[in-house]
Amino acid sequence: MWAHDLSGDIAKFQSIAATKKPDSQQALAARLALERAQGEMEQSDVKMVLRIRSMTNAGLRAVGEQPAFLTSEYKRLEAALANPKTNDPAKIAAAKETFARLTVEMKVYTDLENMAVDQMKQALQLIESAPAN
């Protein structure tokens, strides 16, 4: 993983925070800084992963290759489960459990994506109907 793992820093923060007055101005400011750092890291991770994925897919398209869409990756895992290269029942069971969770996540992702598209359409309709300056 390229991103900085904050888990050690968070554990250290929590350890120190346990010895401090939680409602002090400094403790509250520190908590706010921690929350912002976590949020910014998560947001930048997501943005960078999406950007890297987009660039990778653009490169694949440029050389005539099929880009790696979520749906094709999902189908690839489904096919791999149908013909696993391992005979280890624990690994196969773990992969099946992952696939089951992924199936749910993909449904939620699709619903969220559709909701975002609908909200964007609504936002455009609202801004278009707003009075001019």
Residue 57 shares a structural domain with residue 91? no
From CA 7, how far away is CA 100, in angstroms rounded? 28
Q: Which domain holds residue 60?
A: 1-67
Residue 75 shares a structural domain with residue 59? no
pLDDT tens, position by position, for the chain (133 residues)?
A: 445 677 888 889 899 999 988 888 888 989 888 888 888 878 877 888 788 888 888 887 888 887 877 778 888 889 999 999 999 999 999 999 999 998 888 888 888 788 887 888 888 888 888 888 7
For 113, the token pair is 């994506």
Single residue among 17, 49, 67 that ends a domain in this structure = 67
Distances (CA, A) of 14 to 5, 19, 64, 81, 101: 15, 9, 50, 41, 31
Number of separate domains in the chain: 2
Predicted TM-score (pTM) above 0.85? no
